[in-house]
Structure 1
């Protein structure tokens, strides 16, 4: 069966080689681009407000109207959700490689088009921007299931978790790059154009050249994706898709012989026998019996995680304003505000976000996915409560540094925790012919959480704006209550983690049940108590 197919055994037992690192870079640059494109919008949202919605007498000059802010921040997530479902399904129908190039080119074209958004009125510009960001998100959505599936099917079982985590860790570098690029561009434009206007009228000094800043930042997202397009097209299709889905044992053996530089025997009879006995569909009773709880676990944990994770990332600027780390908008020019927001976000990414990803890479194949996810959700709950309970203490002068340290730790444990593991596990525990589809469904649930988080935290930001405009309004009530809600959501994520199996050290076929001899054996194995060695956890009943 699957465990006896030489091509799959060769992949599972392969020593770490150059092709592993090549695959990490090729797939990882897609995630670098994804993160840059998704999160750079939060850095320029206030600049868009200054340019197109400036109100001279407002205490928060240039704030986007709530419906516009929701559209600008959330439309890409709607596209991402759609793309994850569509390309996840298509990756199982057409093959991982065939679809991989489509997603990348869509990202390149729409990144450039977003920066070229046009219109005779502010509404026209924003509408065009939202249109292109929806399709940008659609391409980004396809990258999630395809990158995860390709890396899991290329990797050996000993270090598979680290390889998939390394692909996803490029997201941290993408967030960091977004902050650094915005920092450099805003500083350059500020030094060249801002000084005279800033002296005359800080709040209203939005020079005409500021319109180029957000456009350049968005368009630069096309560069890393474009650089890796050729290498994506050179990658062979994964052997697991070719053998177990396309049923082409000869091509699978040929492709992996070149990649692994070993001779692999074709085994068409074994492939045909295996595939014939394992052709249940996504909506079949057999799938529900075998993997229904697993899919429920991967979707709910990703949904809950992304509510918290994207809320924090997209609205960092509002939190920074709430604790007075960034001065009030009316005291700064537009370019100075962009500069200070990007500086703050870059610092958080450097100190909390990026290290969390790479600690996961280091430890995931040692302590397991389950332990890391459970620990991450628990520590996120603890640190969010640590921010929310003494919130008024943190917002007083002299205590901002402590708030930022605590805040950075929530990002660290999100990334050394469920933000990484929710991406990794769905690529390991489902059958090959449904792997990309199930990963896409899980990821789409996550993006549904991101949409909830974007709109939810928008409400918190509105409360903060009211506090700034009206001295009698309770300052920071929106942010504080939001932190309490996010702590509760993180705790729910911890509970749903118990539905997700541990996949450390096991082959993909062992996790999905594709290496069982027949349906009766598979059923018995599924219903029998698991040996203590097969899981890295025990759950008291």
Structure 2
């Protein structure tokens, strides 16, 4: 890429395209490639931001394997105390609520750079304390210890949701933004897959001790669960430095300075005039904004219409030199953030969208975590419940069942979302996801006592597939794409926290209801929850190609939003 000299635009100095900060700037986009083909900079961003969701799934879903091991270590294979079992499974989600709201707010208030990486430090510390649980405390003591530190772990895991999503959304080109967010979130599937695979490998290493009927050998299970949990430290340490040194994005800096958003490179190269209409909300660039905006030299076509910059070698994220911005530019002071947030969401057209993103996530997580945090019941119906044989045989069966479901359902579901998100759109995928998961749950519930193992595997696999090629992915994407940069981390944190509240309710509710009403009736409750997600999805707009920063600027210009 060629380097251009500094130039003046409406009184402000614009840094040339050669002054690039790697991940600080967008890369040039190759429009000949589909959105799911990434360039090197996007792959680097994926590696930095994606590890959080890998650890999210690894740490959250590995607890099923850990509790099974604790059964043999301290209870000779007997069922864990119901209250403590529910607490240790819900602990990380309880912490996630705290982390999502608090770090989402801090990400908007202080900036992404100021807090990004701190959540990974919390995960590292909490993981170290989890694997340091004193066996001398006994089974109940270890479960309480794990519950406390998994709450702390959950704070770090929860914080990663709004921060990594915002860091990615701030940097992604509009035409690839949904795909990038899908890539980031798909690491949840890989975390689940690797968790099951690691469990099988470590169990195989301990086979000689656990493949025995002598209870004295069950103490070896202590080493298995500590190794499984402790291995999460490797990817955490591997990306900590990159997170702590990641620069602030251009889009965020422009947003808090009330400057127009950056122009996507593909519009500059195509020479198109992006649609800046308020109703359609499909604007993709700041070039269609008024020519008195600082930092832009407006040009016009023969008919007098504003044109974007046409130089294909100039990055879409040219950064204004802050020392040379005209004094008349009004910057948003951070101490006004809460007032601005209240004013923005005090308007019904914005509040109803936040309600939509939060309630959809809440409903989705009731069903998703209700199933996946208690998958041992479903796995038993599939023939992988580990109800017979030695400790090793039982544990290995459960891990194998998890691996099969993840490989057939989880991972393919995420990849279907990655490939189709920019073609089908977010709203159709979410509607389809809620509808199909409701159908699969209805079939599982209605045929629960009649299905053979193969039938359970098929239906449960399709259920997981449509969770992830559906609302489990789109609920994560929506808050980033529908809300402006200056509010998106907080809005994402609120929406995600509502989802975790659903997960907490499912963690305790599933165990409490299975006994009195039976598993099939609990699945009917999850069916109703998914059906309820459909009308709330209708509150949401389609966000494909939508730039919320441009929409906010146009609302302010039209007097529809406070400045």
Provide the TM-score with structure 1 as the length reference.
0.82
**Structure 2 matches for 1:177-196, cutoff 5 A?**
177-190=194-207, 192-195=208-211
User: 234-243 or 436-445: which moved more?
Assistant: 234-243
- Conserved 8 A contact 1:81-1:448: yes
Match of 2:219 among 205, 208, 218: 208
- Conserved 8 A contact 1:206-1:334: no
Match of 2:491 among 410, 435, 438: 438
Deviation readout 1:197-221 (Å, 9 max, x if unpaired): 33xx6xx575221111111111111
1:86 deviates by 0.8
**Structure 2 matches for 1:157-236, cutoff 5 A?**
157-190=174-207, 192-195=208-211, 197-198=212-213, 204=215, 206-236=217-247
- Conserved 8 A contact 1:14-1:260: no
CA change 1:215–1:260 in 2 (3 A) is farther
Hey, what does 1:455 align to over in structure 2?
A: 508
CA change 1:271–1:401 in 2 (3 A) is farther
Please report the RMSD computed on the Cα atoms of aligned residues, expressed in angstroms.
Answer: 2.9
Q: Which has the higher helix share?
A: 1
**Structure 2 matches for 1:238-387, cutoff 5 A?**
238-245=249-256, 264-266=319-321, 268-269=325-326, 272-273=329-330, 275=332, 281-284=340-343, 287-328=346-387, 331-387=388-444
- Conserved 8 A contact 2:482-2:546: no
1:78 is aligned to 2:106: no
Cα distance in 2 between the residues matched to 1:77 and 1:307: 12
Deviation readout 1:363-408 (Å, 9 max, x if unpaired): 11111000000000000011111111122111xxxx2111111111
Cα distance in 2 between the residues matched to 1:393 and 1:125: 39
Cα distance in 1 between the residues matched to 2:91 and 2:124: 17
Secondary structure of the residue that 1:385 maps to in structure 2? Answer: helix
Deviation readout 1:44-95 (Å, 9 max, x if unpaired): 21221222233xxxxxx42111101111101111001111011111111111
The runs of 4+ residues in structure 1 deviating greater than 6 Å are none
Cα distance in 2 between the residues matched to 1:424 and 1:442: 11
1:273 deviates by 4.2
Structure 1: gaps spanning 5 or more residues: 55-60, 464-476, 524-541
User: 142-151 or 231-240: which moved more?
Assistant: 231-240
Cα distance in 2 between the residues matched to 1:403 and 1:487: 16
Match of 1:498 among 538, 547, 556: 538
Match of 2:116 among 74, 84, 100: 100
CA change 1:219–1:348 in 2 (3 A) is same
CA change 1:169–1:428 in 2 (3 A) is same
Provide the TM-score with structure 2 as the length reference.
0.79
Cα distance in 1 between the residues matched to 2:40 and 2:49: 14
Structure 2: gaps spanning 5 or more residues: 1-12, 18-24, 31-37, 264-294, 296-312
Hey, what does 1:514 align to over in structure 2?
A: 553
